[in-house]
Chains A and B, each alone.
Chain A
Amino acid sequence: MAIYGSAGLDASAGLRPVAHRALRSFTSLLLVSLLAILLTATANAQSLQRLTVTQLTLTADTATPRIEIPFHLIVTAHVREHITELDNLDLPILAELELLGSERTTVASRSGSTYREIITVVAHHSGAITIAPVTLDATDARNGKNFRYSSNSLTLHVAGPGAAIAAAGNAWQGLNSFLSALVRLALILAGLVGIVFLVATLVRRRPAPLPVVTLAPPTPIVRDPQTSLREALTVLQRDRTRAGAMRARHIVRAMVGATDAETLADVLRRPLATDPEVRNLLRALERAGFTHDVDVPPAVAAAIAQLERMTR
């Protein structure tokens, strides 16, 4: 036992330096890693520009680009500082577009610098494309805090192959696409004709239907202004209150085509409100709708008098 124990002791004594070395190596590795992370973070923080970003937008020169026709994406950033380059501007990945080139300009003015990057791209597939926002990492010059500025995102609708054929310079490719579209159209038409024929055959086997009376298509109701004016007069004569005035005002505003978003000034600019009598009426109803409580009865009376003049 003593020998075993001794041997055991010897063995453990021989292993200890190895364990220490491993531990020391691991610690060193950890320290180096931590140091590297710290250095990277510090370098990142130091590399950010101190900027006062006042604008960061992403636009396109067309909202509906055509397939295979190059178009431009425009990144505009405005900062209050005078700079020659924006260092940490990240453009989105344009997975659905092919990048053809880009051009960057920075213009200094009294209000700062305007950075503009024009990216030329082309779409190979039709449909909606959403482009993620452009981001800019910078240190806010006002408070010294790091900030990631993000522009708007952009959704474009790439026009389909018809537009591409019309626009593409490659005549053979266009002709091929056109012919395949024609074939598809012919197949669809043939299918539709077949369905119609089948339905017609089935219907013919049924007993004869009752004669159908075809009605004339409904004609849009065009209200005579006199009808609206008489209706407004009736409303106001029955209810000589502010609420009645507001209902009559609504009828007259509808008569001249006003929407809910328009004030009297807007309504008076409408072509149907050029008649001085209509303008006087609109003003009288505005007064009846918003004046003092004490002034409502005379205001309503004035509006009724105006309506009576116009409906006489």
Chain B
Amino acid sequence: MRNDGTGPAIVSRALERTIVGQEGVIEGLLLGLLCGGHVLLEGPPGLAKTLACRSLADALHGEFKRIQFTPDLLPSDIVGTRIFDQRESAFATVRGPIFANVVLADEINRAPAKVQSALLEAMQERQVTIGPQTHPLPDPFIVMATMNPLDSEGTYALPVAQLDRFLLKVDVGYPSRAQELAILERFAIADAPVIAPVATLDAVREWRAQAHSIHIDDALKRYIVELVVVTREAQHPAIDYGASPRATLAIANLARAKALLERRDYAVPDDVRSVAPLALRHRIGFNFRVSNDGGATRVLESLIARVPVP
């Protein structure tokens, strides 16, 4: 594995220069980028979620689009539409904001199911159909969706099947006092600094190929399966249903990406255990017995701790 400072860690370092703290968000975005998966960010407003996504696009010299989800949004507002051109006497295709490398779907749960479906279908298929034509989405294409856990009025909860399409979910927390002080010093008198591109989209495609070739030993594969199965078979009173096999694939992919970030060409148990909560948290049906103050995380940690490390 190369250790010449040109790996994906260069993007991480660039983001850290703009965003104070939020190491979990930065790592989550990079893992999503390296796996070609989509990221769900859940956290209160004002925690630099949008800034992180915009900075990622800037660092990659990619195109960034932000869609603010509202109850009156229509599918065509996302994917695009066909408008009649009187001069040409024909319908012209107008592409929607989904045609970008990094798409930020802000407050995804504020739009009705029809719009959510349009976005999630595009996320899955990586192409959209406008009228008679099917258009491939750019590569790399990554959707970062945000959800605000504080407001529930006027929201449409994402169905389980749609949540499952997100590779990982990051819970965005408040910064520490020292970090908040640093934010004050960095942004009080100036806007967020613009990140200069540090990598190209071609480099991203190369990193993805490297991530695919990361070795996962058989013992580690069994460990991943056990981590997912324990969520289904533990019969925990706070869990209604466990994670699907898609979680197994997600953990394996994320562990590969994590190993790449650590500049290794093989994954180790630490990689698996550190990414497992990111892939499992939103795929498990926690019920009302889980308290709001991190109860689900504690339950998940206890389940993960039950599985012996190879």
A-to-B contact residues, CB < 8 Å: 52-57, 76, 78, 80, 110-112, 142, 149, 151-152, 242, 246, 260-265, 286-287, 289-292, 295
Across the interface, do B152 and A149 meet the contact criterion of CB distance under 8 Å? no
**What is the 8 Å Cβ interface bit string for chain B, positions 44-56, against chain A (1 contact, 0 not)?**
0000000000000
B-to-A contact residues, CB < 8 Å: 149-152, 157, 215, 217, 219-220, 237, 265-270, 273, 288-292, 295, 305-309
- Given known A-B contacts A56-B289, A151-B289, A289-B217, A263 and B157 have beta carbons under 8 A apart: no
Across the interface, do A263 and B292 meet the contact criterion of CB distance under 8 Å? no
Checking B220, B265, B292, B305 against A55 with a beta-carbon cut-off of 8 angstroms, the contacting residue is B292
- Given known A-B contacts A80-B152, A152-B237, A290-B268, A55 and B290 have beta carbons under 8 A apart: yes
Considering the chains assembled together, what is the distance between the CA atoms of A52 and B292 in angstroms? Answer: 13
Considering the chains assembled together, what is the distance between the CA atoms of A246 and B309 in angstroms? Answer: 12
Across the interface, do A110 and B289 meet the contact criterion of CB distance under 8 Å? no
Across the interface, do B270 and A112 meet the contact criterion of CB distance under 8 Å? no
Considering the chains assembled together, what is the distance between the CA atoms of A290 and B269 in angstroms? Answer: 9
Q: Which residue of A has the minimal Cβ distance to B216? A: A290
Q: Which of B151, B217, B267, B306 has the most CB of A within 10 A?
A: B217
B interface secondary structure, majority: loop
Across the interface, do A261 and B305 meet the contact criterion of CB distance under 8 Å? yes
Considering the chains assembled together, what is the distance between the CA atoms of A262 and B151 in angstroms? Answer: 38
Considering the chains assembled together, what is the distance between the CA atoms of A230 and B19 in angstroms? Answer: 49
Chain B residues whose CB sits within 8 angstroms of the CB of A246 once the complex forms:
219
- A282 to chain B: closest CB distance in Å? 11
Q: Which residue of B has the minimal Cβ distance to A59? A: B291
Checking B157, B220, B270, B288 against A53 with a beta-carbon cut-off of 8 angstroms, the contacting residue is B288
Checking A54, A261, A289 against B288 with a beta-carbon cut-off of 8 angstroms, the contacting residue is A54
- Given known A-B contacts A110-B151, A260-B308, A262-B309, A290 and B288 have beta carbons under 8 A apart: no
Considering the chains assembled together, what is the distance between the CA atoms of A57 and B157 in angstroms? Answer: 24
- Given known A-B contacts A110-B150, A112-B152, A261-B308, A291 and B269 have beta carbons under 8 A apart: no
Chain B residues whose CB sits within 8 angstroms of the CB of A291 once the complex forms:
215, 265-266
Across the interface, do A265 and B266 meet the contact criterion of CB distance under 8 Å? no
Instruction: Apart from A112-B152, A290-B215, list 8 A-B contacts with CB within 8 A.
Output: A55-B289, A57-B289, A57-B291, A110-B150, A152-B237, A260-B309, A290-B268, A295-B265
Q: Can you list 17 A-B pairs, Cβ within 8 angstroms, ordered by A?
A: A55-B295, A57-B291, A76-B291, A111-B150, A142-B157, A242-B217, A261-B305, A263-B270, A264-B269, A289-B217, A290-B215, A290-B219, A290-B267, A291-B215, A292-B265, A292-B266, A295-B265
Chain B residues whose CB sits within 8 angstroms of the CB of A292 once the complex forms:
215, 265-266
- A54 to chain B: closest CB distance in Å? 6
- Given known A-B contacts A110-B151, A152-B237, A264 and B270 have beta carbons under 8 A apart: yes
Chain A residues whose CB sits within 8 angstroms of the CB of B270 once the complex forms:
263-265
Across the interface, do A78 and B292 meet the contact criterion of CB distance under 8 Å? yes
Chain A residues whose CB sits within 8 angstroms of the CB of B290 once the complex forms:
55
Checking A112, A261, A290, A295 against B220 with a beta-carbon cut-off of 8 angstroms, the contacting residue is A290
Considering the chains assembled together, what is the distance between the CA atoms of A111 and B151 in angstroms? Answer: 6
Q: Which of A54, A149, A286 has the most CB of B within 10 A?
A: A54
Chain A residues whose CB sits within 8 angstroms of the CB of B220 once the complex forms:
290
Considering the chains assembled together, what is the distance between the CA atoms of A152 and B237 in angstroms? Answer: 8
Q: Which of B151, B157, B290, B291 has the most CB of A within 10 A?
A: B291
Across the interface, do A290 and B309 meet the contact criterion of CB distance under 8 Å? no
Checking A53, A111, A261 against B309 with a beta-carbon cut-off of 8 angstroms, the contacting residue is A261
Q: Which residue of B has the minimal Cβ distance to A253? A: B309
Q: Which residue of B has the minimal Cβ distance to A141? A: B152
Across the interface, do B289 and A290 meet the contact criterion of CB distance under 8 Å? no
Pick the 9 closest A-B CB pairs, nearest first: A260-B308, A291-B266, A263-B270, A80-B152, A292-B215, A263-B269, A290-B217, A53-B288, A110-B150
- B58 to chain A: closest CB distance in Å? 32
Chain A residues whose CB sits within 8 angstroms of the CB of B292 once the complex forms:
54-55, 78, 111
Across the interface, do B291 and A290 meet the contact criterion of CB distance under 8 Å? no
Checking A52, A262, A290 against B152 with a beta-carbon cut-off of 8 angstroms, the contacting residue is A52
Chain B residues whose CB sits within 8 angstroms of the CB of A56 once the complex forms:
288-289
Considering the chains assembled together, what is the distance between the CA atoms of A111 and B152 in angstroms? Answer: 7
Considering the chains assembled together, what is the distance between the CA atoms of A30 and B151 in angstroms? Answer: 50
Considering the chains assembled together, what is the distance between the CA atoms of A201 and B306 in angstroms? Answer: 55
- A291 to chain B: closest CB distance in Å? 4
Across the interface, do A152 and B268 meet the contact criterion of CB distance under 8 Å? no
Across the interface, do B291 and A295 meet the contact criterion of CB distance under 8 Å? no
- A241 to chain B: closest CB distance in Å? 13
Q: Which residue of A has the minimal Cβ distance to B293? A: A55
- B15 to chain A: closest CB distance in Å? 23
Considering the chains assembled together, what is the distance between the CA atoms of A286 and B265 in angstroms? Answer: 13
Considering the chains assembled together, what is the distance between the CA atoms of A55 and B293 in angstroms? Answer: 10
Chain B residues whose CB sits within 8 angstroms of the CB of A151 once the complex forms:
289
Q: Which residue of B has the minimal Cβ distance to A261? A: B305
- B236 to chain A: closest CB distance in Å? 11
- Given known A-B contacts A261-B305, A263-B309, A287 and B266 have beta carbons under 8 A apart: yes
- A79 to chain B: closest CB distance in Å? 9
Across the interface, do A55 and B291 meet the contact criterion of CB distance under 8 Å? yes
